[in-house]
Amino acid sequence: DLGFKAIYPMRSARIYQAVKRARGNRKEIVNKIEESLSHCLAVDGIQGEVSGRQKHIYGIYKKMRGKRRAFNEIMDVYAFRIIVDKVDTCYRVLGAVHNLYKPLPGR
């Protein structure tokens, strides 16, 4: 993000402000989703390590340019990872997450 800010200060500032408006209180949101995912796994009896983060400004910019989309069309400003020990558990997690957060067709 620092290199992006140095090379494209205006673009960086615009995206930063848009992300700031869209994300709200970032840490609270990430923590709430992490807790929700962890609870969902616990209810289904699945062992897994859940972690979440905010995506970097430059990564969002690259996605906007690569897909030729405006910021409001980029939906994933957060990323979550669930680490499990087996492939079949991975598919169980996918099903549990889809029950918790309905997937959007075409996304």
Instruction: Map out the domains of the chain as residue ranges.
Output: 2-100
May I ask the CATH class of domain 2-100?
A: alpha beta
17 vs 21, more confident: 17
Query: Taking the chain, what is the end-to-end CA distance rounded to the nearest angstrom?
Result: 25
CA distance 61 to 10: 12
Q: Average pLDDT for residues 61-75, to the nearest whole number? A: 86
What's the CA gap between 27 and 4, in Å, rounded?
Answer: 23
Reported as a single tens digit per residue, the pLDDT across 33-60 is 999 999 999 999 999 999 998 888 899 8
pLDDT score at 107: 67
**What is the model's pLDDT at position 25?**
66
Alpha helices in 1-107 (DSSP H): 2-7, 9-23, 26-43, 57-67, 87-100
Confidence of residue 89 (pLDDT cuts 50, 70, 90): very high
Q: How many CB atoms lie within 10 A of CB 6?
A: 9
